[in-house]
């Protein structure tokens, strides 16, 4: 059973004290391989009889389309952008994650509140403000952090191409896309590593092959998953 505990003030509308499911958040920066790992992990867990739901950023029916549209304009200030993402997170939590946890499923969150906070912090938003807002988030059973450094990360990005926002294009105007990417990612990684320590996450070295990373993640999450009654 998952004890219902929040980082801050409990949000309205959640009465349970315990949830039968398990919430596992996979954190890591842009392009580190989270979605690949989650998709393999989901297949693996389902093949073993566990019910699994995954949820990634911008997939909320309420806000998803709005964020995509707003980001096209490249004019979003960090506070508005962050509040869009906070709404997206909450909507997915209430609509997808919470019902799955109530139904006894394993929820694999592709990023949690931490990426959102790190992104906003490097763009100048106040840490205290972010911690207050994201206090509404349920404390997950486990957070897996896919760890990488900017030098190894950029080699992967070169193959798939740079993204405006992942390179801090909205706030690092005077940099080349490469320099912008390196600076933005270094700062974001710095924030994430500090959180990994502070919140005691399970750290997985993401520089290996997909098979290697998956195996490490699998070993890390299985005790959490198996602490539910076996299917």
Partner 1 sequence: MSTSEDFMDLPGRLIVVEGIDGSGKSTQLDLLHKWLRSEGYVTVFTEWNSSPIVRDTTKRGKRKQLLTPMSFSLIHAADFASRTHEQILPALQAGVIVLADRYIYTAFARDAARGVNRKWVRDLYSFAPPPDLALYFHVSLEESIRRIGAARAEIKFYEAGMDLGLSEDVSESFRLFQGRILEEYDTLCDEYDITRVDAHQSLVSQQVLVRELVEPLLEDMPRREITNVPTHMQTGYVSLAAGGGL
* Nearest CA-CA partner of 5 in 137, 106, 200: 137
Of positions 26, 37, 45, 63, contacts partner 1 by CB under 8 A: 63
Question: Between the CA of residue 56 and those of 31, 71, 105, 179, what are the distances in Å?
Answer: 14, 17, 16, 27
- Answer positive or negative: Cα dihedral of 9, 14, 19, 24: negative
φ, ψ dihedrals at 179, nearest 5°: -60, -40
Of positions 1, 40, 53, 83, contacts partner 1 by CB under 8 A: 83
Cβ atoms of residues 76 and 84 within 8 Å: yes
Site track 151-170 with partner 1 (rule: CB under 8 A), x = hit: --------------------
Candidate segments 9-17, 111-119, 173-181, 216-224, binder of partner 1 by CB under 8 A:
9-17
Cβ atoms of residues 135 and 7 within 8 Å: yes
3 bridge partner residues: 18
Nearer to partner 1, 51 or 56 (CB): 56
Of positions 23, 45, 76, 172, contacts partner 1 by CB under 8 A: 76
Of positions 87, 142, 183, 193, contacts partner 1 by CB under 8 A: 87
56 bridge partner residues: 110
4 binds partner 1 (CB under 8 A): no
Of positions 25, 41, 55, 90, contacts partner 1 by CB under 8 A: 90
Query: Helix 34-47 and helix 210-226: axis angle, to 10°?
Result: 50
CA–CA distance, 211 with 11 (Å, rounded to integer):
39
CA-derived radius of gyration, the chain: 17
12 binds partner 1 (CB under 8 A): yes
139 binds partner 1 (CB under 8 A): no
125 binds partner 1 (CB under 8 A): yes
5 binds partner 1 (CB under 8 A): no
197, two tokens: 């320590």
136 binds partner 1 (CB under 8 A): yes
- What residues make contact with partner 1 under the rule CB under 8 A? 8-13, 61-63, 65-66, 69-70, 73, 75-77, 79-80, 83-84, 86-87, 90-91, 94, 124-126, 129, 132-133, 135-136
């Amino acid at each position: 059973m998952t004890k219902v505990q929040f980082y801050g003030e409990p949000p309205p509308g959640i009465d349970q004290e315990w949830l039968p499911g398990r919430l596992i958040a996979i954190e890591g920066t842009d392009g580190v391989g989270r979605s690949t790992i989650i998709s393999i992990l989901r297949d693996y867990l389902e093949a073993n009889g566990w019910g699994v739901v995954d949820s990634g950023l911008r997939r909320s029916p309420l806000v998803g389309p709005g964020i995509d549209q707003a980001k096209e304009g490249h004019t979003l200030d960090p506070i508005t952008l962050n509040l869009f993402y906070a709404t997206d997170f909450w909507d997915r939590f209430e609509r997808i994650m919470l019902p799955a946890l109530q139904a006894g499923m394993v929820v694999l969150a592709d990023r949690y509140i931490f990426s959102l906070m790190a992104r906003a912090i490097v763009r100048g938003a106040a840490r205290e403000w972010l911690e207050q807002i994201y206090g509404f988030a349920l404390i997950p059973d486990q957070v897996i952090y896919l760890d990488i450094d900017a030098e190894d990360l950029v080699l992967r990005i070169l193959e798939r191409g740079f993204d405006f926002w992942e390179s801090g294009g909205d706030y690092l105007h005077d940099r080349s896309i490469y320099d912008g990417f390196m600076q933005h990612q270094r700062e974001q990684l710095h924030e994430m590593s500090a959180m990994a320590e502070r919140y005691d996450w399970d750290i997985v070295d993401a520089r290996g092959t997909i098979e290697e990373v998956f195996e490490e993640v699998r070993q890390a999450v299985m005790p959490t998953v198996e602490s539910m009654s076996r299917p």
